[in-house]
Chains A and B, each alone.
Chain A
């Protein structure tokens, strides 16, 4: 089941139960626990013994509350890893099953894209041999404010329950007070957020790296740095080296372009809560109209004309490798020019990245001088990708081109026709329910 399109509410409800065994803090917070995202219930289980299905699981709330408190910064701010493969550290910080204490937790994963926290729930594997089997399988997006409120309420309930049961498990209230104080401190919260975006637990990021990044935020922009940090954390040569190369790339050679920003584009808005992909598509439609672009894609000549740069500037240049794991555009002080440093090394990739830079230039805060196009799944990057796909490969034109033939050969012809990758063409079709999403993954 997919509920990834519209934001949903989030709740964690504990009905306290008596318990005779186990650790004092586990006994004190034994509960029938229900974790739900509107009508989607992550704790729907079938008992192995009775075959009864219920929406609550018998666990102890203390380990889960400790897990939320210990991982609060990473849960709230760290996106899914850019490499596509989560490290053990990422999994420990984002998968509920890491709450441990020997309870059968749901296979529920949280990953932040900034304004929302995505929740992904998987059913138990068949024949697991455990006393209960989780049944729910879904994906949904929780507004960050709802995520914070649900976690705040749950942890406060658990602390109150521990207090009524003789004050055991005080390490939870001590840790939670620290987290709350950090959240309320404007300086500390910026540091913790950046640390989380680098993929580090609290106090784990080297001090000199944090200091270097915070210093860079003056030049790059605070929001830009939020985007760059998760892209640096997967660097093979280390974060310090990746920061150095990023600075060199920002100050080095690039493609200088001019961008006309009509007022219609500046004024383009979408309702609050609009998912990033819808926002990107809507903006691409407005851009096509404002820039008087054809409705059936953009040729290399039209792209060059739009950006006031020679066509050859968008051809692969094997002699130029900035050595950073993402693309970067740098705004010039005049507000009309950008320097584009492409991370992609092939023609469709360069066209796509150029379109992403346009999207970011149209929407990024004015305080951001750097416009990164990274592989991470933050809301800003999702919006860029949706914009670029719709600008270069408009869905109506693509659907018309396919003419009901979704074979691999036709996909390749479409990618060639629109000057995009086969993956982009397939993703456009899947995102508009014209082909099953499984075909994109294959």
Chain B
């Protein structure tokens, strides 16, 4: 017993608990879902259909619409948010800035609000009779109220605005904490060498923050690929399928239509595959190959 209690063994014991828990709650469902993706049928009447679901994916216009919407969100929103977060963090890191605490809180605050609550507020802000239309018309910027959420392009823009508002502050905090670990003397040295603020930003700040940028872009990519609450609550996927996201389509397949859990599992595996591929690309582009 005495050697069982040696440091190493206790460590092993704790690891086993989490390994079993992860295996049970992560990997077992993943394998089950993979098996499920080869089955199809209504509700509980599932049958193995081989690769039929995967073939169906390629010919499913709704899925293709959902996929392309999600990719658009990803391509527009993630870079936009990363750049904004970087910008804010650099500005807020300025030693001469006053009311720093206030600004930091203000920018971080959106990401502690409830996803559903803020989505509903966005929906009402941009309604036909909403506040945004009211002010735009009042100040003569628009002659007639725009039905933002009924227009395929505007609806997408509003979803992107909403997620950017919600998550920029979250990413900013990572950059800010990283920046605070950067030695001031590096910037002082650069200044003496005559580097402009732009040069300092691109030559010093960005390279030093590279690992954090990689981390935030991967987590943001994963988050955006799984986007659900905002779309569900602001536009419910409409108009047409103009804002439908993959997660929402999975929800519809499982709960709105006659349930086909097999096909829904197939669609969810698409997200898994996408996340894996995109993460590998990001690692290759930005990460150190060690």
**A, B bound:** no
Point out residues on B near A: beta carbons under 8 Å.
none
Residues of A within 8 A of B (CB): none
